[in-house]
Structure 1
Amino acid sequence: MKRILVAATLTYTCLFLSGCSLVNYLVNDANQVQRIVPESGGSQKAADGRYENLFPKLTDYPVTCEEDCYPAHPDVVCEATAENCRYQGDSPNLAADAGFQIHWLGHATFLITTANGQQFLFDPVSEQFDFPINWAHSLSGGITRTAPQWPAVEQLKNVDAVLYSHLHYDHFNKADIKRLGENPKYFVHLDTADYLPTAGLSLFEMDWFTTQKLGDTLVHAVPAHHFNSRYWVPFLYSDEEAALWGGWILEHNGKKVFFAGDTGYSEHFKEINEQHGDIDVCLLPIASYHHETSGKWYRYVHTTPEDALVAAKDLNCGVMIPWGYGNASWQMGDRSSHSPLLRLLKMHPEVNGDLPMVILNEGEQIAL
């Protein structure tokens, strides 16, 4: 705690003396923002004006692993127990024929290419947490990650759109936005635009259950069961749910890929299925649900592996690709780099055994 307070004090001093470019992401007059809201429905706010989840009082879960949740698996080869691992199993025989190339770059970052060559980049964070949390953690000896392998600069120049699920520092990094520049379109949820750097960006700021067409692809904004905040002074003061969070569906030639973003389990998955029908490819998180002292709260906003399997059933997914684990993960609230994957492999036959799953190592890709 002492190290955290020291880091927070130093950050506050930096903000007070030099400004640390805070105005840069709170004022965005140079960016072009199109705000898209539905005629009815969409997101909702609590009485105090903060955004809230569609089902904020959920307390029960359909399935919970009770014992022996992290058994070793012959297809997960590790240097230590559930640590520094590589999945070596075969991919299932799939008939998805959805026309998507799925490239998992690590943690929550995916590069998705459609059948006609459009490229969509989800939650790009190429190195550490966004500033100033990365700086505070560095000073306090806090959480860091081994940076994943990243696409070449020339490849990133071909990205058509960048989509963000929410503002947390492991999903949204202003340094990566500056690297990507003004060529792509940026898709964010409501009241998020002002957090992006002022750099001549073109943004679509969307409410839940709205749609924007980009080329031949429909981009649908959908709910997640999570929360949102940006710390102005690390660990001391944040804006508390001033901006909306959520997931995304890309629809091309009638085929759909769903990126859930950070989310806990709730009835919102069934709502998404009711609005958009069955999903061909589901990218679902399976990590950051475990914490020694805050376990119930962590699970409220992060799916366990079995929660993700139930969500896949609610969405009627053609195939599921899990994410959040891995050697280049932050292991936030998890026991090890690959404990979530081991738990997923254990619970898969019990919860949703008919569901085809594609297990990727960071940096791998597959055509579906």
Structure 2
Amino acid sequence: MAALALFKTDLIMKHITLIIFISCFLSACSTPNQVQKIADKNSVIAVNNQTGRYHNLYQGKKIYPTTCEQNCYPPHPNLICETPSSNCQYQGKQIKPPLNTGYTVRWLGHASFVVSTRNGQNVLFDPVSEQFDSPVDLGFKLAGGFYRKPGAWPNKQTLENINAVMYSHIHYDHFNKADIKKLGNQPRYLAPLGMADNFPTGGFNITEMAWYAKTSIEDLTIHAVPAHHFSNRVLIPYIYEDDNKDSWNGWLLEQNGSTLFFAGDTGYSKHFKDIQQKYGDIDLCLMPIASYYHKTNAKGYRYVHTTPEDALNAATELNCKVMIPWGYGNSSWQMGDHSSHSALSRLLHMYKQMNAPIPLYILNEGETIKL
């Protein structure tokens, strides 16, 4: 009898093990994520109470202070290209502004940056190492897009020392689930409101933050700030729509009185003046200058993406002590652009035309500057 009972117990345990294995296979044995939300009395949540959808602070028709009308993309002697405005390297002599912020900035390509602080914290903005998440990457290529060249992805040692990963919004060129799995659950993940349910499961520590909310990593204060954009992440457009279900953020780092602003994808709006009024003049501004042009929908693209001249005006309103542009480059997807470096050509042209007062510092992918 004892032998029979032992046999039955063993059989039951084998069945339980098999059930657990099947369950783990179906769910990838994932540990639930830890999600918290920061939205206090000083925060702003721009959401339609009837639809539950997020919206921009300043909606409606836009008036742009400056618009390049003609000859917007002349060749520049410091931009060395294989073909006009494509496959380029910026080789101009640059003078670093006399700052002592303690921030070291490395541009990985498109919107991805690694920023290190004076006191040893390391943060990662919008990391996307190669393509879009599957299967959208294949669909994009079949629809007439192309695969980008991989960006200047950090080495293993750098990735192991990342303290925080910050996302501006859920669009595929800014948020990649495959890269989250590579980064693992050691860093803290900071995201706009509503975005946590887009993460893969795996025990990730995710904090959703409303506009003007703040948190800290040791003595590094991180502020979530407004952007003028939108969100969606659909596999089958028009069948399942999730437009503006999640919010979108810019980010502001603050340490020892020094500030660094990452605008995220954004159009030109009064929110730049609001940020300056709330936090004062900004030391380093990482500003988008691309994805504003599309031959069939130029106004729509510009509404949610700054042109180079919009970015210069925004940086002036923020009173940035140096502006570092992004969005162009050999590892961009060229979405809504003439070519890989057309936006940078236009920036260099308009910088001179506008006599812009904000110092520029131009990076090629993989380059680093300490300011």
1:266, 1:140 → 2: CA distance? 32
Q: Which residue of 1 aligns with 2:368?
A: 365
Q: Secondary structure at the match of 2:148?
A: coil
- Shift in Å, 1:117: 1.5
Show the counterpart of 1:37: 39
Map of 1:7 onto structure 2? none
Map of 1:136 onto structure 2: 139
2:299 alignment partner AA: K
Distance 2:32 2:43 in 1: 30
TM-score under structure 1 normalisation? 0.90
User: 1:303 deviation in Å?
Assistant: 0.1
SS in 2 for 1:296: helix
1:169 alignment partner, SS class: coil
Residues 1:212 and 2:222 aligned together: no
User: 2:198 is matched with which residue?
Assistant: 195
Deviation at 1:22, TM superposition (A): 11
Structure 1 equivalent of residue 7 of structure 2:
none
2:243 maps to 240
SS of equivalent to 2:215 = strand
Change (3 A) 1:41 1:181: closer
Indicate the SS of the match to 1:269: helix
CA–CA distance in 1 between the matches of 2:27 and 2:93? Answer: 49
Does the C-alpha gap of structure 1 residues 259 and 149 become closer, same or farther in structure 2, counting only changes over 3 Å?
Answer: same
Note the aligned Cα RMSD (angstroms). 1.8
**Is the contact between residue 131 and residue 173 of structure 1 (CA under 8 Å) also seen in structure 2?**
no
Post-superposition Cα deviations, 1:220-274, rounded to whole Å, max 9, x if no partner, equal: 0000000001104257433110111010001111100000000000000001111
Q: Counterpart amino acid of 1:292?
A: K
Q: Larger Cα Rg: Structure 1 or Structure 2?
A: 2
Q: Which runs of 4+ in 1 moved over 6 A?
A: 21-24
Structure 1 letter corresponding to 2:36 = Q
Q: CA deviation at 1:186?
A: 0.3
Partner secondary structure for residue 156 of structure 1: helix
**Alpha-carbon distance in 2 for matches of 1:191, 1:22:** 25
Count of residue pairs the alignment pairs up: 345
Contact kept, 8 Å, 2:291 with 2:335, in 1: the verdict is: yes
Q: Distance in 2 between matches of 1:38 and 1:96?
A: 33
Change (3 A) 1:79 1:359: same
Distance in structure 2 (CA, Å) of the matches to 1:77 and 1:49? 48
In the alignment, which residue of structure 2 is the partner of 1:124?
Answer: 127
Of the candidates 307, 319, 322, which is equivalent to residue 304 of structure 1?
307
Instruction: Tell me if structure 2 keeps the 8 A contact 1:103–1:366.
Output: yes
SS of 1:85's equivalent? strand
Structure 2 Cα separation of the partners of residues 149 and 355 of structure 1: 27
Structure 1 residue 327 and structure 2 residue 302: aligned?
Answer: no
1:87 to 79, 87, 90: 90
Shift of 1:138: 3.7
The residue aligned with 2:8 is: none
For the Cα contact (< 8 Å) 1:43–1:54, is it kept in 2?
no
Q: Does 1:161 align with 2:164?
A: yes
Deviations for 1:309-329, whole angstroms, at most 9, x for unmatched residues?
Answer: 000011000100000000110
Structure 1 residue ranges without an equivalent (≥5) = 1-20
Contact 1:133 1:234 in 2 (8 A): no
The 8 Å contact of residues 145 and 328 in structure 1, kept in 2 or not, is answered as yes
Asked whether the equivalents of residues 209 and 220 of structure 1 are also in contact (C-alpha less than 8 Å), the reply is: yes
Secondary structure in 1 matching 2:336:
coil
Amino acid at match of 1:165: S
8 Å Cα contact 1:58-1:266 kept in structure 2: no
8 A Cα contact 2:43 2:213, kept in partner: no
**1:52 partner SS:** coil
Q: Does structure 2 conserve the Cα–Cα contact (< 8 Å) formed by 1:321 and 1:360?
A: yes
2:154 match? 151
More divergent stretch after superposition (230-239 vs 347-356): 230-239
Question: In the alignment, which of 211, 227, 231 is matched to residue 234 of structure 2?
Answer: 231
Instruction: Read off the aligned partner of 2:319 and give its amino acid letter.
Output: N
Q: Which residue in the other structure is 2:103 paired with?
A: 100
**CA offsets per residue over residues 21-41 of structure 1, 9 Å max, x none?**
9989xxx98111120002155
Change (3 A) 1:58 1:192: same
Structure 2, unmatched stretches of 5+, are: 1-24
CA distance in structure 1 between the aligned counterparts of 2:121 and 2:35, rounded to whole angstroms = 22
